[in-house]
Amino acid sequence: MRLALERGVPQEEHQKLALGSLTDWDAARIFLEVVRCGSFRSAAERLDLSINLVRRRIDDFERQIGATLFTRDVHGTRLTDEGSLVVSAVERMEAASFDLLRAGNSVANTLSGEVRVAVTEGLGTFWLAPRLVEFQQAFPNILVDLHCAMRSADVSRHEADIAIHLSRPAALDVKLVRLGRMHLMFFASEKYLQTHGTPKTAAELVKHRLVMQVADQTAAKETFESLFPGFSQRDLLVMRTNVSSANYWAVANGAGIGVFPTYAYAAGGKIIPLEVELHRPFDIWLSYHPGSGRIPRVRHMIDWLIDAFNPSKFPWFKDEFIHPREFKPVYKSESLTHRFGEFSAEGR
């Protein structure tokens, strides 16, 4: 590149020439992920690749471009000036590739094919998955790829067709629908309460055994610090896990007191809500790319998901907190316990 610049070729033109001869989009995609994550290691984890493979692909990409794109030192990975120029060009390539995928989807058989839905692990496992039979019965030729994880998916980067989040996505080029609100409470099993007693206040919780789920979208660290100032997690926790299912089974079998959405009680969870003040709400957001929303199979899934969180049908998703003991008077539809298997902990 320096030779090209010395011969009077403008830097931007040289970058266009280099990118014009680029044949390896996968390496460019990895380059973009390293930029967005800020390190080789974080990008490798996000892409589910080894860090050595990521480094090799970046070396290959730099050879194709003909420039050094990153500097590496003890402080991490930083873009060079040449790398900054390449970022915007690769982002345009990424956007064009997504447009091509959406165009291909729109001309395909519209009520068959695959719809990728990304959702938090708890909502996916305990709320959506048991209900998806409704969608499957209505649209038997649509394959639903339900990806349950606590990392928020970015639909603008085609990580999913539809994503459900517990905080409002910041991307500007996506469509957003606020589905409702999820309310959290402290719960424990009857077995635990018979053995250790029932706490009535947050101050009494410090004398109990606590189980906590720690994940990106749960704000667990902030909640713990606000409830138990001056205490470390090691002082109070007997178990910490990253997934809702493990968290549930631990509490349901008497390991300790945990935090769950109120809908766990409506779905038949074998756990008892406590009167300890928490009532922490999370707004539930659905996002999708405008182009994807015009594909009929994706549109049908969007409409189904909106209905699956409809606060008028399911009062535990209303903006205002409704205590689980009030569910029976306000919920007029069929019982959910048979559909969700009652989460039975007996015999386990």
**DSSP states of 146-183 as a string?**
EEE-SSPP-GGGTS-SEEEESS----SSSEEEEEEEEE
Q: What is the pLDDT of residue 8?
A: 40
Q: What is the CA radius of gyration of the chain?
A: 24
Report pLDDT digits (tens) over 139-154: 999 999 999 987 888 8
Q: What is the pLDDT of residue 343?
A: 44
Q: What is the pLDDT of residue 87?
A: 84
In the predicted structure, residue 348 carries a pLDDT above the cut 80: no
When comparing pLDDT for 177 and 11, which is higher? 177
Determine contact, residues 150/174, Cβ cutoff 8 Å: no
Secondary element (H or E) of residue 210: strand 210-213
Q: What is the pLDDT of residue 265?
A: 87
What percent of the chain lies above the pLDDT cut of 70?
Answer: 82
Q: What is the pLDDT of residue 152?
A: 81
Report pLDDT digits (tens) over 205-232: 999 999 998 876 567 778 788 888 889 8
Determine contact, residues 335/204, Cβ cutoff 8 Å: no
3-state secondary structure at position 218:
coil
Which residue, 102, 108, 109, 34, is CA-closest to 69? 34
What mean pLDDT comes out for the span 102-128?
A: 79
Give the span between the Cα atoms of 247 and 217, in whole angstroms.
15
What mean pLDDT comes out for the span 244-248?
A: 90
Looking at 2-11, 16-25, 58-67, which range is the least confident one?
A: 2-11
Q: What is the pLDDT of residue 24?
A: 61
How does 113-134 read in b/e, with b if 16+ C-beta sit within 10 Å? eebbbbbbbbbbbbbbeeebee
Q: What is the pLDDT of residue 218?
A: 63
Supply the DSSP symbol for 257: B
Q: What is the pLDDT of residue 277?
A: 83
Give the span between the Cα atoms of 51 and 33, in whole angstroms.
12
In the predicted structure, residue 183 carries a pLDDT above the cut 70: yes
When comparing pLDDT for 342 and 179, which is higher? 179
Question: How many residues are recorded in the chain?
Answer: 348
Name the packing angle between helices 25-37 and 51-65 (round to 10°).
110
Band the pLDDT of 162: cuts 50, 70, 90.
Answer: very high
When comparing pLDDT for 346 and 209, which is higher? 209
When comparing pLDDT for 101 and 95, which is higher? 95
Q: What is the pLDDT of residue 47?
A: 82
Band the pLDDT of 274: cuts 50, 70, 90.
Answer: very high
Assigned token pair, 198: 């029932």
What mean pLDDT comes out for the span 15-44?
A: 72
Give the span between the Cα atoms of 174 and 163, in whole angstroms.
11
Name the packing angle between helices 11-20 and 51-65 (round to 10°).
120
Q: What is the pLDDT of residue 95?
A: 74
Q: What is the pLDDT of residue 124?
A: 93
Q: What is the 3-state secondary structure (H, E, C) of 281-296?
A: EEEEEEEECCCHHHCH
Give the span between the Cα atoms of 158 and 123, in whole angstroms.
21
Residues 6+ away with beta carbon under 8 Å from 89? 15, 16, 19
Give the span between the Cα atoms of 341 and 345, in whole angstroms.
10
C-alpha 237: how far from its chain's center? 25
Report pLDDT digits (tens) over 315-333: 999 999 999 888 888 776 6
In the predicted structure, residue 187 carries a pLDDT above the cut 90: yes
In the predicted structure, residue 164 carries a pLDDT above the cut 50: yes
